[in-house]
A and B are shown apart, each in its own frame.
Chain A
């Protein structure tokens, strides 16, 4: 069964954020389906991506920890959430 998740990364813009996230997701066998990145208000980096973790051996909580470790020390906030949250909230 497909298990869609939304990963959000927020914080100070710097080199290599997308690369680190993508690498960590690939190593966890999580498939990125959609990715969006922008700079808010001049220097706040915001990335949102939709992915499928159906084939990942990790639980959602474990994946969340893995991403936090991958971005450690960069002053970024990373969130991993079940995509159902956004489907319920934004789609009728």
Chain B
């Protein structure tokens, strides 16, 4: 096998200059054998299993990083939703297990553990309710745990009682972490139609159809896509733009598959999926918004942004599915605000509004992500924002999510700063018109007609 020097230098340029990396190697660990009505025993079983399965994860990642010359930025663990593991309808029981999980995560050197999760899209059990009530304290008192709650699906509709409850939980989480700009909310996501093999945080949990241990790889590379587009002639039409994105996505996906298979082999786990999601970081150049700018928009959020994101997301998927038969997770483009330098700029300039962002989420991966809103935003208004985003996912048969931070003590135009990968965000204004009467009705918005496929 020979490679041209152009091919070799292209790969090296993607890694060295365009920040192409394996964003996360996430080990999914099943906890079906860890259930125990005694919270202390349950916590011990879960922690022991994390240590046994993920003990060598960091070491394997470090060795592969050197051999392949590809940065592996994070190692993480995702778990069976804890609402199915801790059979106690008491928030204190969940706190105890969460602390044990956090310690085990620290021991194996991962920066996040996903799976403090409940699935209540049709209704909540008493155990689910206890987990949800424990969320604010768990996110305030642990470092690594991430929480996700499923509120809606195309098959079941939207659980509006749970939307309102999560509006309150989000506010309470912000309050308990007010000294750090409400950072607890950055580790809390609500979903419609979640995927069960997601490697990315905060929404990773391991679904019920998954094996004992599975390697889930998240690759990123918005910089590489932007660079490829900048290499196009200025008069290249959008068909050529889509083709270029597709080819770049293919290459990035192949690299991720190589890493995933090798990690799995060395850990003695199954290779699960590869998730090629253009996931930005706050570093300049590692931005999805800058891809939109390379396509010809002056800023993300300008008219045309929804069309541009649709094309980007679709081309990424097409390149990915051709490159690997193991594509899973979310696989598309993420548009978190605080984690993307171009999105931060667009939001700070007022070009990108919450409403335009919501429209863009209808055609790309995930949803309203890492959005800071004024600290006095009511639980009802948060629930209305959540319900709108859930509706987009339910009606389109796709995943949508909300990760929103009502920044304590802040008003529109202020900034929240989380640091690291979570970045910083301008506080975006929220439409002040009340939706309390609507969300206060509670109940369930029935499944849409497209949910009835049998």
Contacts and interface: CB of A to CB of B under 8 A. Distances in A.
Q: Do A and B bind each other?
A: yes
B70 interface: yes
A21 interface: no
Given A8-B8, A84-B258, A85-B255, A90 B68 contact: no
A75 B428 CA distance: 47
Interface of A: 4, 6, 8, 10, 34, 36, 38, 46, 48, 50, 60-61, 64, 79-91
Contacts of B7: 86, 89-90
Interface residues of B, number: 21
A61 B4 CA distance: 24
A10 B69 CA distance: 15
Q: Which 6 A-B pairs have the closest CB atoms?
A: A81-B69, A88-B258, A88-B254, A48-B5, A48-B8, A36-B5
B57 to A, nearest CB: 19
B66 A64 contact: yes
Contacts of A85: 11, 68-70, 255, 258
Nearest to A38: B5
A29 to B, nearest CB: 18
A86 B5 contact: no
B67 interface: yes
Given A87-B1, A89-B255, A6 B67 contact: no
B9 interface: yes
Interface in B365-419: none
20 contacts: A8-B9, A10-B12, A36-B5, A46-B9, A48-B9, A50-B3, A60-B66, A61-B63, A61-B67, A79-B69, A81-B67, A81-B69, A82-B68, A82-B69, A85-B11, A85-B258, A86-B3, A88-B257, A89-B7, A90-B3
A81 B110 CA distance: 25
Nearest to B4: A36
Contacts of A64: 66
